[in-house]
Amino acid sequence: MAVPIEFRFSDIMPPEADPPKTIYRDVVNLPDPVKLGLTIRYFNYDDVSLYFKIFGAGTGYTINPVELGSLGSGQNAYRNLDEFASRAKPSSGAFSGGEFEEQITLTLKAYTDSGYSNLKWTFERVVTVHWIKSDDPAFTVDYLNNFDDGTVQGWAVLNEQGGSPSLAVATDYVLSTPYSAKVSVSYISNQVRTRLHKNFTTPNKNKVFAIANIREGATYTKNLRIQKDDDILVWLGRPYDDVTQDYVPADKWLRVVVLLPKNTTLNFRIVEERRSTGTRYFWMDDFMIISKD
């Protein structure tokens, strides 16, 4: 390894190459300015402990560096960079056929001192941000689950570990009135992992996107995964630990957009893992699958 530090977005371990990273975003009904968050996993293969700091740069973006602290030799760590970057909300004129792309450069720097003054190593990656405009006429809405008929519209919950979940419509947090889907989870053990899921058959179109809006309660959520069957498409947070701390943004709506394969029957999964000592909740609303040729 030429530079003994790096960061990744996947769970693939070095020295195998990490695939290029694309973040998908839907502009519809986002605030202005829009914020961008992401989870990284960073590595120290140097012979000594180092102090890490991550920077970002992109046209039109405001990105403040984040100090990640010390990481020992041979160790790696996860960090969710909530609201790491911001930019003015893209205008309708920026889109062609309901889409456009831009790039952000992320730079991880490693220092030998806690004051972040003696730079030793630098590692850089370019991230593609792929914007869509889901209400553009170029897209067909293939599925819309907004739960406003008072049912959960085919979604179900499954206990993967340590909990007893239930699912119902609710009115306490919604994006489109009157209802959202609310998952309630009673704990059996401290480590609780819950799956909200539904089967879909995607259209035979060249581009297929799923859009999920999720809200976590502030209850020590460790990670949130968006999956296609067992394949993890998006990971936010950190692996489970017993610390009473949230690693996923809580008490606000998060929008996650993923690219799906065409003409495929799949199980779409929202999996959240938390440290729990009581009944806890998360919500989902206005789930969509859209497509275009």
Gap between the Cα atoms of 183 and 224, Å rounded = 14
Examine the domain organization and report whether 116 and 146 are in the same domain: no
Biggest CA pair distance of the chain: 60
Phi, psi of 16 (to 5 degrees): -60, 140
Gap between the Cα atoms of 199 and 285, Å rounded = 17
Contact indicator for 212, 270 with CB cutoff of 8 Å? yes
Q: How much is the pLDDT for 181?
A: 98
Gap between the Cα atoms of 59 and 126, Å rounded = 13
Q: How much is the pLDDT for 277?
A: 80
Express each pLDDT in 180-203 by its tens digit.
999 999 999 999 999 999 999 999
Q: Which of 121, 129, 5 is nearest to 60 (CA)?
A: 129
Gap between the Cα atoms of 105 and 54, Å rounded = 11
Examine the domain organization and report whether 147 and 127 are in the same domain: no
Examine the domain organization and report whether 113 and 212 are in the same domain: no
pTM of the model: 0.93
Examine the domain organization and report whether 125 and 178 are in the same domain: no
Examine the domain organization and report whether 96 and 78 are in the same domain: yes
Q: How much is the pLDDT for 159?
A: 97
Examine the domain organization and report whether 90 and 167 are in the same domain: no
How many CB atoms lie under 10 A from the CB of residue 36?
21
How many CB atoms lie under 10 A from the CB of residue 30?
13
Examine the domain organization and report whether 146 and 197 are in the same domain: yes
Examine the domain organization and report whether 123 and 183 are in the same domain: no
Q: How much is the pLDDT for 95?
A: 97
Examine the domain organization and report whether 99 and 144 are in the same domain: no
**End-of-domain residue from the set 106, 132, 158:** 132
How many CB atoms lie under 10 A from the CB of residue 90?
19
Can the peptide bond before residue 249 be classed as cis, meaning omega within 30 degrees of 0?
A: no
Q: How much is the pLDDT for 24?
A: 98
Chain centroid to Cα 98, Å, comes to 22
**Domain count across the chain:** 2
Where residue 172 sits, what CATH number does that domain have?
2.60.120.260
Please report, as a single letter, which amino acid is at residue 122: T
How many CB atoms lie under 10 A from the CB of residue 154?
11
Q: Which domain holds residue 154?
A: 140-292
Q: Which of 258, 262, 252 is nearest to 270 (CA)?
A: 258
Phi, psi of 248 (to 5 degrees): -120, 135
Gap between the Cα atoms of 120 and 6, Å rounded = 13
Q: How much is the pLDDT for 262?
A: 98
- Look at the block and give the residue holding tokens 């829009």: 34
Gap between the Cα atoms of 268 and 229, Å rounded = 6
Gap between the Cα atoms of 270 and 160, Å rounded = 12
Where residue 78 sits, what CATH number does that domain have?
2.60.40.10
Q: How much is the pLDDT for 1?
A: 63
Examine the domain organization and report whether 149 and 120 are in the same domain: no
Express each pLDDT in 66-123 by its tens digit.
999 999 999 999 999 999 999 999 999 999 999 999 999 999 999 999 999 999 999 9
CB burial string 155-184: b at 16+ within 10 A, e below? bebeeeebbebebebbeebbbeeebbbbbb
Three-class SS state of 236: strand
Assign residue 169 a region (left: φ > 0; alpha: ψ between -120 and 50; beta: otherwise).
Answer: beta
Examine the domain organization and report whether 91 and 163 are in the same domain: no
Examine the domain organization and report whether 117 and 146 are in the same domain: no
Question: With a cut of 50, which residues of the chain have pLDDT below it?
Answer: none
**End-of-domain residue from the set 115, 132, 149:** 132
**End-of-domain residue from the set 116, 132, 148:** 132
Q: How much is the pLDDT for 160?
A: 97
Give the count of alpha carbons within 13 A of 86, CB side only. Answer: 10
